[in-house]
Chain A
Amino acid sequence: MVNAAPVAVSVSADAIVHAILALGVTHVVNVPDTHQRTVLAALAHESRIRLLTACTEDEAIAINAGLWIGGQRPFLSIQHVGLLAALNNVKGIAMDGQIPTCMLVGYFGRDVTRTARDNAARAIHLIEPTLDTWGIPYFPIEGPDDLGAIGQAYRHSLEHLGPSVILVGAPTS
Chain B
Amino acid sequence: MRRQAAIAALVAARADAITITTEQAIGAWRAAVPEPANHIPDHLDIVGCMGSASTIGLGIALAQPHRKVIVVDGDGSLLMQLGSLVTIAGAAPANFYHFVFENGVYETSGSQPLPAEGKFDLHEMARAAGYAYSAQFDDAGAFASAVSRLLNRHGPVFVSVRTEAEDGFLVRSSAGTRLDVQMHALRERLVG
Residues of A whose CB lies within 8 Å of any CB of B are 27, 50, 52-56, 58-59, 61-72, 74, 88-89, 91-93, 96-99, 161
Contact = CB atoms under 8 A, between A and B. Distances in A.
Given A69-B186, A96-B179, 9 more contacts: A50-B62, A52-B62, A56-B83, A58-B81, A59-B81, A88-B49, A92-B48, A92-B179, A99-B183
B184 A98 contact: yes
The 4 A-B pairs with the shortest beta carbon distances in the complex, nearest first, are A66-B59, A70-B63, A55-B83, A92-B49
Nearest to B178: A96
Given A62-B49, A66-B63, A97 B183 contact: yes
Interface centre among A59, A62, A69, A70 (most CB of B within 10 A): A69
Contacts of B64: 70-71
A71 B63 contact: yes
A66 to B, nearest CB: 2
Contacts, number: 113
B50 to A, nearest CB: 8
A59 B87 contact: yes
Given A92-B48, A92-B49, A92-B52, A63 B83 contact: no
A67 B63 contact: yes
A53 B90 contact: yes
Given A27-B62, A66-B59, A69-B186, A53 B87 contact: yes
Nearest to B184: A98
Contacts of B56: 62-63, 65-66, 69, 93
B170 interface: no
A62 B179 contact: no
B92 to A, nearest CB: 11
A65 B183 CA distance: 9
B87 to A, nearest CB: 5
